[in-house]
A and B are shown apart, each in its own frame.
Chain A
């Protein structure tokens, strides 16, 4: 069975959520087996995810049944959902039951607060190695999908579990959404070792979340940098959390100050802090820094996980073999996915990556073989760890308002430059709505003209030099 669920101790608690549902491995295996028979094989099913047992059994059961799920956030922006529905014409939807009224499709089955809808779409041919689909984290307009092949998710579950030393005694608090590559990875990794996963839909800033961590004696937490911003705002370092022994981070770069804070917190409290790095294209994690090195290598993502290999290439694509080097960080391993899809025909494509992925992140490698991410080659930001394409945002603004637009920024804020003062407020609202990210992550600047070079390309480095109107 997928992730070896049926090999675990049948009586051990596998999963619990905040809606009062819980299943042992025996019960979970039975549900997965039952759900695996519900869908026609090789059909595409959209799952609108919440971190609940309902969403989880659907995801596991559909994969077991050789259907192909695309995981999306249940709060997905409606325009984006429509464009995905139109493009990929899924045969089924697995959605929270309270959302059934928003769709005009018959319900074939429901359980654990989720309902299976059969759309009017036919099954269409897809590649036989395709197992799973995910959007590239976060989205603007119509996002690319990442195509996972059979074996990716399980290989990563196995190797990350080994790298972290997870055992059957772990009780991870699963806060990151399962529609997000790292959120799903935490879930998969712990199911793989037979641990008890504590799914939560509670917000980190609400007392419910902290009560849950304490009441359930959660043993580890995985967050993105923003999660730790919240932790520190709530002075978690003063909280008594005796069972929480491992803190892990991924999905973005912590500031050095925060990294050191977490490493020192771990050392002082005899806990482990493990920084990691991953992408949607690598199902998720590629590397992690062993806890004992956290204090000595602030900002490092460590070394490749078992069965994986990190390497660096120069601008011509040649691999850098010197021990200490700097270049574009790449990875080889069984968790590298098949490639992207921008339309349903591309779901037929074979493996484009062939086990090797170029991250587009720049990194340096030190004398101990530890990697440090130093920059980004491609034009995207990670706002709250959601990948947002700068070029895509420019296009969206241009199309919506018919005005010139240039976008730059860093992982804390996107700066949007326009020349039409009357649109300033509307552009901010529009981009915030399209990306589903709060407006404080964006700032709109009105300048006289967008600086360009002779071939018309925007000179991004000159933007902040223009006087603001």
Chain B
């Protein structure tokens, strides 16, 4: 059974085809390579499916990046 962090990291590494080592506070929407709006839509869908939650609009638009995303998920009871 994967931990929440492992599941979260896996979504990123597979979607953006990057190594875990690149997942940090600089890995952000609109800046990280390939993270455009289509990728963002896909990311949100995968996060919602994996963690069985429905993100609110503000949380989708404020998701921002890999690190910030963790804070948002904490609001939904997903601890890492």
Point out residues on A near B: beta carbons under 8 Å: 203-207, 209-210, 226, 229-230, 233-235, 238-239, 384, 429, 437-438, 440-441
**Residue from A234, A440, A441 in contact with B57 in the complex, judged by beta carbons closer than 8 Å:** A234
Determine the chain A residues whose CB is within 8 A of the CB of B10 once the complex forms.
Answer: none
Q: Which residues of A contact B30 (CB under 8 A)?
A: 203, 206
Cβ contact within 8 Å between A229 and B41: yes
Q: How far is the CA of A90 from the CA of B29 in the complex (A)?
A: 34
Known: A203-B30, A233-B44. A438 touches B39 (CB 8 A): yes
A233, B60: Cβ atoms closer than 8 Å: yes
* Chain A residue nearest to B63 in the complex (CB): A205
Tell me the B36-70 residues at the A interface (CB within 8 Å).
36-42, 44, 57-58, 60-62, 64
B60 CB contact (under 8 Å) in A234, A239, A384, A429 = A234
Smallest beta-carbon distance B2→chain A, Å: 22
Assess whether B71 is interfacial by the CB under 8 Å rule: no
Compute how far the CA of A18 lies from the CA of B39 in the bound complex, rounded to whole angstroms.
23
Chain A residue contacts of B34, Cβ below 8 A: 438
Contact B61 A205 (CB under 8 A): yes
CA–CA, A204 and B38, complex, Å: 10
Query: Is B42 a contact of A230 with CB atoms below 8 Å?
Result: no
A226:B29 contact, CB within 8 angstroms = no
Q: 30 A-B residue contacts at CB 8 Å?
A: A203-B29, A203-B30, A203-B40, A204-B37, A205-B41, A205-B60, A206-B29, A206-B61, A206-B64, A207-B58, A207-B62, A210-B61, A229-B41, A230-B37, A230-B41, A233-B41, A233-B44, A234-B57, A234-B60, A234-B61, A238-B57, A239-B57, A384-B38, A429-B17, A438-B36, A438-B38, A438-B39, A438-B42, A440-B38, A441-B38
Q: Which residues of A contact B62 (CB under 8 A)?
A: 207
Which residues of B sit under 8 angstroms from A441, Cβ to Cβ?
A: 38
Chain A residues positioned under 8 Å from B17 (CB to CB)? 429
Number of interface residues of B (CB under 8 A): 18
Cβ contacts under 8 Å, B36 to chain A: 203, 438
Give chain B nearest CB distance to A311 CB in angstroms: 36
A343 to B41, CA, bound (A): 38
Q: Interface residues, chain B, CB within 8 Å of chain A?
A: 17, 29-30, 34, 36-42, 44, 57-58, 60-62, 64
**In the docked arrangement, what's the CA distance between A230 and B17, Å?**
23
Are B29 and A205 in touch, CB under 8 angstroms? yes
A5 to chain B, nearest CB (A): 32
B61 partner residues in chain A, CB cutoff 8 A: 205-207, 209-210, 234
Return chain A residues, CB-CB under 8 Å to B38.
226, 384, 437-438, 440-441
Question: Please, how many angstroms separate the alpha-carbon atoms of A171 and B61 in the complex?
Answer: 23
Q: Which of A205, A207, A226 has the most chain B CB atoms inside 10 A of its CB?
A: A205
| Distance between Cα atoms of A203 and B58 in the complex (Å) | 14
Minimum CB–CB distance for A48 against chain B, Å? 17
Distance between A440 CB and nearest chain B CB, rounded to angstroms: 6
Q: Indicate if the CB atoms of B40 and A205 lie closer than 8 Å.
A: yes
Residues of A close to B64: CB separation below 8 A: 206
Rank and list the top 10 A-B pairs by shortest CB-CB distance, nearest first.
A207-B61, A438-B38, A234-B57, A205-B40, A205-B37, A207-B62, A235-B57, A438-B39, A203-B37, A440-B42
Question: Residues of B contacting A429 with CB < 8 Å?
Answer: 17
- Give the chain A neighbours of B40 by CB distance below 8 A: 203, 205
The docked-state distance in angstroms from the alpha carbon of A234 to that of B61 is 8
Q: Which B residues lie within 8 Å of A440 (CB)? A: 38-39, 42
Min CB gap A33→B, angstroms: 35
- Known contacts A206-B30, A209-B61; can you find 14 more A-B pairs with CB under 8 A? A203-B40, A205-B37, A207-B61, A210-B61, A226-B37, A226-B38, A233-B41, A235-B57, A238-B57, A384-B38, A437-B38, A438-B34, A438-B39, A440-B38
CA distance A238 to B58 in the complex (A): 12
Residues of A within 8 A of B57 (CB): 234-235, 238-239
For the complex, give the distance between the alpha carbons of A234 and B29 in Å: 16
CA distance A235 to B55 in the complex (A): 11
CB distance from A437 to the nearest CB of B (A): 8
**Minimum distance in angstroms from A435 CB to a CB of chain B:** 12
